[in-house]
Amino acid sequence: MKRLFVKILCAFVSALLAGWLGLFGLIFVNASSINAPQKSDAIVVLGAAQWNGEPSPMFRARLDHAYELYDAGYAPVILLTGGVGAADEESEAIVGSRYLRGREVPPDALAVDPHGNTTFESLQSVVHVMRERGINSSILVSHDFHAFRLKKMARDLGITAVFSPVQTENFFSNMRYTARETIVYAMYRLFGI
């Protein structure tokens, strides 16, 4: 009886590991497939950490990429997402807006949506902002490792979007973030969070 239990446990652990590795591979490969941006109604920037009112390097990379898309004429509006973190006084969206105003993006080309503390919450809120503003299409800006989950969430919420990723330069950082995304994506598929 004990031997049977050990065999079943080993089979279960092996199946979990195989599933995790398969999902890891899908996310990693998807991260390397770059979508070409298309003319859209808005560029949606997914928030990332801000430090004392300044965007973290990861957030700054997203904001700079959104600025390049805006400057190239891909969309007339940049929609910034991201709520207030536990130890923060300002939302990521407000910090991002201030940073882009510093890059001379006019205030009427910026929309701030500080209502989400997770990717899914941010996208849920974006749906309402897009509806209110008559925005029908968007370019989602985040990091490459985020693409697989972000695309799935956008589809689930009915957001018409293409993805324009910021490339993670460091291979080891990319592997670490992809490993995390594998777990977070599985949690989203299983529990909707």
Report pLDDT for 92: 95
Contact by Cβ (8 Å): 145, 177: yes
For 152-176, the three-class secondary structure string (H helix, E strand, C coil) is HHHHHHCCCEEECCECCCCHHHHHH
Report pLDDT for 191: 84
Q: What is the pTM of this model?
A: 0.87
User: Mind listing the pLDDT tens digit of every residue in the chain (193 residues)?
Assistant: 777 777 777 777 777 777 777 777 777 777 666 667 899 999 999 999 999 899 999 999 999 999 999 999 999 999 999 999 777 789 999 999 999 999 999 999 999 999 999 999 999 999 999 999 999 999 999 998 888 899 899 999 999 999 999 988 787 888 888 888 888 988 888 887 7
Report pLDDT for 153: 95
Q: What is the DSSP string of 60-90?
A: HHHHHHHHHHHHTTS-S-EEEE----TT-SS
Contact by Cβ (8 Å): 141, 62: yes
CA dihedral 101, 61, 88, 51 (to 10 degrees): -100
Report pLDDT for 31: 62
Q: Domains (ranges, CATH) in the chain? A: 36-169 (3.40.50.620)
